[in-house]
Copies of this chain bind each other. A is one copy, B any other.
Amino acid sequence: MKSTFLTRLPITLFGIPAVIFLLSEGGMIFSGFITIVIFLCLIEFYDLKASSGSRPNKFFGIIMALITCFMYIQFPNSNAVILLSSFTIIIILSLLFEMFSGHQNPLDNVNITLSGVLYVAGLLGAMIALRNWDSFNGSRFTMAMIFSVWVCDSCAYTFGMLFGKKKLIERISPKKTIVGFIAGIIGSFLSFYIMDSVGFIQIELSLSQLLILTFIVGICGQLGDFVESMFKRDAEVKDSGKILLGHGGVLDRFDSLIFTSPLVFIFVSFL
């Protein structure tokens, strides 16, 4: 317990200010950061499946992920024809590569390659578009989302450990409790409520808007965590990677944001 806390500490101490700095810088610095995160998450996602014998094509997957990030950087003014051309050509090339390679289970390999791009880059990449939308607002909205995810995770962890008994979905995640899940939702609501009241989020939000954000971060974010647990369980591994000391892999750290980022971006697009 203590050793986990201590190994986690350096990443936490360095990570939080680093993310705040990158967020407030925005532009190509933040887009580049998210692109690197997507790159690392995608590699971990592919390695999860590789550990159970499949052979996703990392090369084509990464190229498609880069195109997706590029689309989000220009969103919604991307050139539809160039996007379509790039995706079509990469999909066809990856199918042909699989055919000529003579690997076992070619269809599975292509399926993993393509769906990894949709799951990781398609969903998480929306954070680039969200931050770009947020420019006029000093990136406060994106920061509020990330803070709320952190508060939600911490509340779920702490209250779950202290008071949680009944498990939520034991089959998928043997540690997560109902108490923790509810504490996460309340934590997420309170964090948004406080940030809104003190004027941190520079846009004034109605109660129903606060509740939608709570639904996205408190419920969908935690479910994103569950989905990633399901992937790991499927691959029979504990952590998605080891790159972040004590925090597991990059995918473990960004699993909630994979669900919350595109949903919050959709929310602000209709604001």
Interface residues of A (CB under 8 A from B): 48-49, 75-76, 78, 80-81, 84-85, 87-89, 91-92, 95-96, 98-100, 102, 105-108, 110-112, 114-115, 118-119, 122-123, 126, 169, 171-172, 220, 223, 226-227, 230-231, 234-235, 259, 262-263, 265-266, 269-270
Assess whether B234 is in contact with A99, with CB atoms less than 8 Å apart. no
Name the residue in A84, A107, A223, A226 with the highest tally of chain B Cβ atoms < 10 Å from its Cβ: A107
Q: CB distance A262 to B84 under 8 Å?
A: yes
Which chain B residue shows the least CB distance to A108? Answer: B108
Given contacts A92-B220, A220-B92, A269-B85, contact A111 B106 (CB under 8 A): no
A223 contacts which chain B residues (CB < 8 A)?
96, 99
Query: Contact between A108 and B107 (Cβ–Cβ < 8 Å)?
Result: no
Question: Complex Cα distance A112/B108, Å?
Answer: 8
User: What chain B residues lie within 8 Å of A270 (beta carbons)?
Assistant: 81
**Complex contact A126–B88 (CB within 8 A):** yes
* A137 CB to nearest B CB, Å: 18
In the complex, chain B residues whose CB is within 8 Å of the CB of A220: 92
Residue on B nearest A234 in the bound complex, by CB: B107
Question: In the assembled complex, which residues on chain B have CB atoms less than 8 Å from the CB atom of A114?
Answer: 111, 114-115, 118-119
Q: Could you tell me if B49 and A92 are in contact, using CB atoms closer than 8 angstroms? A: no
Taking A88-B263, A88-B266, A92-B259 as known contacts, 20 extra A-B pairs with beta carbons closer than 8 A to each other, sorted by chain A number, are A76-B80, A76-B81, A84-B126, A88-B122, A91-B123, A92-B263, A95-B227, A98-B230, A102-B171, A106-B230, A106-B234, A107-B231, A107-B234, A108-B108, A108-B111, A110-B119, A111-B115, A114-B114, A114-B115, A115-B115
- Complex Cα–Cα for A101 and B74 (A): 37
When chains A and B are docked, how far (Å) is the Cα of A220 from the Cα of B235?
35
A91→B172 contact, CB < 8 A: no
Identify the 9 closest CB pairs spanning chains A and B, nearest first.
A76-B80, A111-B111, A114-B115, A111-B115, A88-B262, A107-B234, A85-B266, A81-B269, A95-B227
Bound: A80/B80 CA distance, A: 9
Structural contact, B84 and A230, CB atoms closer than 8 A:
no
| Contact in complex: B126, A96 (CB < 8 Å) | no
Task: Report how far A230 CA is from B227 CA in the complex, Å.
Answer: 31
Who on chain B is nearest to A99 by CB? B230
Cβ–Cβ contact B99 & A227, under 8 A: yes
User: 29 A–B contact pairs at CB < 8 A?
Assistant: A75-B84, A78-B80, A81-B269, A84-B266, A88-B122, A88-B123, A88-B126, A88-B262, A88-B266, A89-B266, A91-B118, A91-B119, A91-B123, A92-B123, A92-B220, A92-B259, A96-B223, A96-B227, A99-B169, A99-B223, A100-B169, A107-B230, A107-B234, A107-B235, A108-B111, A111-B114, A111-B115, A114-B115, A118-B118
